[in-house]
Amino acid sequence: MMDNYALPFWVYLAALTVFVCGAMKRILAFHLSVGPTLMAWLGATLLVEQLWVFCMPVLLLLALLGLACYLYSACRTGPPQTALSGQGKTVFITGCDSGFGKEAAKRLDSLGFEVFATVLELTGDGARELQRSCSPRLTLLQVDITQPQQVQQALLDTKAKLGLRGLWGLVNNAGVCVNFGDAELSLMSNFRGCMEVNFFGTLSVTKSFLPLLRQAKGRIITISSPAGDQPFPCLAAYGASKAALNLLTDTLRHELEPWGVQVSTILPSSYRTGRTSNHTYWDQQYKQLLQGLPPALLEEYGEDYVIETKDLFQSFASQANPDVTPVIDTIVQALLAAQPQARYYAGPGVGLMYFIHSYFPFSISNRLLQKLFVKKKLMPQALRKQSGLELHSLHNNNNNEEKSEKL
């Protein structure tokens, strides 16, 4: 019987195996605890079913299953990697006034790195904390990454301390989210502000420090956001800037591979950093938005609609995890792993979110974003009026029909 199916069977089996292994490889990249096991069992079940249909000999069937289990185990665990030492290595980190940047600077300093940490204010609370808690190896630099002259001065200061050495790591952490609300309501200045810091500023720093990174065959670690890959409601300006940043980072990874420079992107879940937990911050954002909106547009959406959006963002930010340890651990891993990954998902839920986004129907992933992120209850005012008029019209039509029947 096997002779009748010889060529078609082996072609089919090879294609099926390639598909299952490819899917497993994609799933493993999301770092899910149940995903790899589930996918492995589904793939094995499909293979076994097809093999039995073709009446495969039992010994050959067992051998193929054993090979599949071995390959799965090898893909899951991978070769053992020895972490590199931070002693004597240099790293340049942007945005160290607070949040990820400040905590990363402290951790890397404790691991023996020579850290160059940029802050917006040398006399600010974050800068003073770094000076108190870190070793003399840490150098504070006042840098606004949107100002090319400040970036170039930081490069000169870094070169002066490095001497003939190259730069092992660049951590692009500085970023802003200066908007909330629908894209139509977001001011053009907010779109430009996000692009200026998150994309152009990061690009300016990266291009400036690339010669030092190429010299040391170092690493570029960029802190991005899932909002750059998935359409989070009311985050159009921020998400667009991060989408541009993600594409830039992916392109650099290909271009810098021949130079020996490793490029990684870190995609964190929601964390409470910076001023986002401050009520005053959201009130200022709200007032600035109202001042910049044309009266006719504000009338279309309604001030209560804007207030609800502000309150939802404020609530979401206040409930975010204040412990940024998973992100800092990931930065360290990307800097010291023998073979760093192209992408890291830092924090609970990010891998699952990307898994659903990649493999589930669009309607499901879209609904997940709407339910988990901004749970709006109000519709824009113009739509509410329209719905009210339609209901009123429908009610009048029903009354007229009842009168006609009575007549």
Spatial distance between the Cα atoms of 86 and 103, rounded to a whole number of angstroms: 16
Spatial distance between the Cα atoms of 152 and 115, rounded to a whole number of angstroms: 18
Do 185 and 230 contact (CB within 8 A), yes or no?
no
Do 194 and 216 contact (CB within 8 A), yes or no?
no
Q: Write b or e for each residue in 295-332: b if 16 or more Cβ atoms lie within 10 A of its Cβ, otherwise e.
A: eeebebbbeebbebbbebbbebbeeebeebebbbebbb
DSSP 198: I
Instruction: Identify residue 112 by its one-letter amino acid code.
Output: G
Facing residues of 268 across strands? 346
Collapsing DSSP states into helix, strand and coil, what is residue 335? Answer: helix
User: How buried is residue 225: exposed, middle or buried, by Cβ count under 10 Å (0-12/13-18/19+)?
Assistant: buried
Which among 5, 12, 72, 238 is annotated as catalytic? Answer: 238
Q: How many CB atoms lie within 10 A of CB 376?
A: 15
Q: Closest Cα to residue 269, out of 310, 326, 329?
A: 326
DSSP string, 203-271: HHHHHHHHHHHHHHT-EEEEE--GGGTS--TT-HHHHHHHHHHHHHHHHHHHHHGGGT-EEEEEEE--B
Active site residue 354: no
Spatial distance between the Cα atoms of 392 and 376, rounded to a whole number of angstroms: 25
Spatial distance between the Cα atoms of 314 and 305, rounded to a whole number of angstroms: 14
Active site residues: 238
